[in-house]
Chains A and B, each alone.
Chain A
């Protein structure tokens, strides 16, 4: 920059020059501002793309090849053309099943659950009664009610119609390129029918896991997730809040407290997979006698060894403990000191002050932090793979000592399969998981807003 000249004319040209420079600087500012805005849009675009990608795979056309066509089956029972399989009576459906599957398979199904309460179809009643008396354990048919209409229908679809999905298309190509898809399908899968399928459906939520993507569901995984989160919460909430109370209300400012605090902060940054390895070494291996449930004498679950819901829950409990502590500390710190002094002035002890003044005021904040931590636990995958989630189970978890799988693990396994159909159900499962997390987060936000409005 040149210093302003002494002459008047020089001053004017300087002024011109400065204003040109000024414009340049402002232009540069504008360009930079747009660049910053662009970078920010990258984050927004990433989120939008992610969600669109998942929705795109969750719905779309599928080409289905049936072993036996439902129309033919319906006609074989004397119903008019166009009747849906679901409109048949239960008797007709069972008859279709009788005609379509082997007697041996039928017996097996009937031992699992009877078709009618008052008569037997495949199995001999005496044989079943004997099994119920002597069998160890007795087959489920002994205590379960008869199969419902929809259960029989599902069985007919699974075993007689035997639909296989031979091709799937994404939502966008299904909607915008439907003609191409139809032409391609007609050429490549001549026997197949093209139908629009929503991979996310109520059946998908309540069906158990299955190797066949068309009928697989996430029931097992959802129940597993609930069990695991329950144990995680039961373990880490009391301990986390207790630790926070100690650090904020009891601890003196000394070296020990500093070490505790630093340690908690450091634990919050440890990669989750390390917690998985800790869980594997401690809960699964060292404490196997406890986490497998064998100390209770439940030998039935011996196959699970230490790889149980308890181990998974405790591992995630350790993982979210620092998060709960740090959040709870913040909530407790936000309680005004005057409240404590008022309590103390009335002669209450430290714990009485905490219980009746500090905790009630900090509770919304603590709960908000806990909900967020639970959301984190619900989405964790890596530590549970390491702890040993089951790769394939179809039975609902029966208690804390059973084998488990959780929703994110299910998503991981389906994503890792090369076939397209598994990508579709993985996307549908992701939608369920995201809805769950969104619900939790909304709850947290509502709680937080309500709380901040009250104190403001």
Chain B
């Protein structure tokens, strides 16, 4: 029909579009699902951990104070697991911090585009290799290497040092890419000012750029620690399959308790070993790994939130 009446003026009003509303609602649900994930994590970890602490066999006080983790005789003290986690993480950071930071400084301040073009992919490949492969590497390369350097009597077949070093290698890309971002955010004018008063490239990098990027670099470090603590497969394969129980006073602090060359089981390693076997629900073992999981979640979340604070600070300064 050609002689249709012009649309009434009312149609200029915003039309109701139920389809649009439905789509908007669905998209919101998709976004809200992530909240549900967090709630699920907190709820499930919290619930099972609560069952654990309320049970007759365990208590929060014992969990936080005892230095023995022996589920078979109902000893549930988290310290052996925490100290092993600490040993591997500190070892990892000793490797990853200097190498990662130096790589970042080189890439950001020194490297020609060609060098960057070769090194960046190497780091990306390192970051993309699955952790189970690093576990294999720790067990079949790093451990024999340590044993041949330091002696078979010093380094046990399963040891936290070898696992820690390899965890360090696997977080180098994380440290370097986050640090490089931070260094990159420092305005060019600061560098130019420094060169103008006669500073060398090294002096500019260390005294001008590095302090300027400090909060971003701190963020990188904190995130890396969190990553090292949460890393699982490398320690499950190479660090040892049994908690390193100890008694203060009886066991030597440096010779055993903090000795990285002795086998030890980290929090993550313990969770994997226990859940890899036949685990029946409602058993104290099942509940206990959730208590460990909760501790792990709280520690890593705190570190991640802290790191985001640092990042926010350097963004505030320069952007």
Contacts and interface: CB of A to CB of B under 8 A. Distances in A.
B30 A246 contact: yes
A375 interface: yes
B110 A36 contact: yes
Nearest to B119: A40
A382 interface: yes
A43 B290 CA distance: 36
A266 interface: yes
A433 B130 contact: yes
B305 A266 contact: yes
B272 A260 contact: no
Given A36-B105, A270-B297, A411-B136, A49 B141 contact: yes
B271 A386 contact: yes
B223 interface: yes
Contacts of B103: 36, 39-40, 43
Interface string A59-97: 000000000000000000000000000000000000000
B41 A270 contact: yes
Contacts of B102: 35-36, 38-40
Interface stretch (B20-28, B247-255, B257-265): B20-28
A190 B12 CA distance: 95
Contact of A43 (B17, B122, B141): B122
B3 interface: no
Interface string B32-73: 111101101100110010000000000000000000000000
Contacts of A380: 130
B296 A434 contact: no
Interface stretch (A124-132, A159-167, A317-325): A317-325
16 contacts: A40-B103, A42-B99, A53-B137, A266-B38, A269-B223, A269-B227, A270-B300, A271-B230, A271-B297, A274-B45, A274-B230, A281-B48, A349-B17, A379-B133, A412-B237, A441-B124
Contact of B272 (A43, A266, A382): A382
Contacts of A378: 130
A251 B31 contact: yes
B103 to A, nearest CB: 5
A322 B172 CA distance: 22
B126 interface: yes
Given A36-B106, A273-B296, A385-B236, 19 more contacts: A36-B102, A37-B106, A39-B102, A39-B106, A46-B126, A243-B27, A266-B301, A269-B223, A272-B232, A281-B40, A325-B34, A382-B131, A382-B233, A382-B272, A386-B275, A391-B276, A411-B132, A423-B136, A437-B130
Interface stretch (A22-30, A101-109, A142-150): A22-30
Contacts of B271: 273, 277, 386
Contacts of A197: none
Contacts of B318: none
Interface string A426-452: 110010011001000100000000000
Interface string B144-180: 0000000000000000000000000100110010000
Contact of B34 (A29, A260, A416): A260
Bin the interface of chain A by size: 35 or more
A246 B102 CA distance: 40
Interface in B87-111: 98-99, 102-103, 105-107, 110
A189 interface: no
A344 interface: no
A194 interface: no
Interface of B: 17, 19-20, 23-24, 26-35, 37-38, 40-41, 44-45, 48, 98-99, 102-103, 105-107, 110, 119, 122-126, 128-137, 139-141, 169, 172-173, 176, 200-203, 223, 226-227, 229-233, 236-237, 268, 271-272, 275-276, 281, 289-290, 293, 296-297, 300-301, 304-305, 308
A311 to B, nearest CB: 13
Contacts of A177: none
Interface in A321-356: 321-322, 325, 349-351
B130 A381 contact: yes
Interface in A382-418: 382, 385-386, 388, 391, 408, 411-412, 415-416
A441 B129 CA distance: 11
Contact of A267 (B27, B37, B233, B281): B37
A119 B135 CA distance: 51
Nearest to B304: A269
B304 A415 contact: no
B23 A385 contact: no
Contacts of A416: 237
Contacts of B232: 271-273, 381-382
Given A239-B30, A269-B226, A381 B131 contact: yes
Contacts of A245: 27
Interface of A: 25-26, 28-29, 32-33, 35-40, 42-44, 46-47, 49-50, 53-54, 57, 238-240, 242-243, 245-247, 250-251, 259-260, 262-267, 269-278, 280-282, 285, 318, 321-322, 325, 349-351, 375, 378-382, 385-386, 388, 391, 408, 411-412, 415-416, 423, 426-427, 430, 433-434, 437, 441
Nearest to B176: A43
Contact of B140 (A44, A53, A281): A53
Nearest to B125: A47
A423 B140 contact: yes
A430 B136 contact: yes
A243 B304 contact: no
A26 B202 CA distance: 9
Contacts of B105: 36
B31 A50 contact: no
A53 B139 CA distance: 11
A153 B211 CA distance: 69
Nearest 10 pairs of A and B residues by beta carbon? A271-B230, A379-B130, A242-B30, A39-B102, A382-B232, A246-B27, A281-B44, A243-B31, A269-B304, A29-B202
Contacts of A266: 38, 301, 304-305
Nearest to B44: A281
A415 B45 contact: no
B202 A434 contact: no
Nearest to A414: B136
A433 B304 CA distance: 30
A282 B140 contact: no
Contact of A282 (B40, B125, B230, B293): B40
A39 B30 CA distance: 44
Contacts of A49: 137, 141
Contact of A318 (B37, B230, B304): B37
A91 B31 CA distance: 64
Nearest to B199: A25
B301 A385 contact: no
A388 B275 contact: yes
Contact of A25 (B200, B272, B300): B200
A154 B136 CA distance: 30
Contacts of A239: 30, 33
Contacts of B297: 270-271, 274
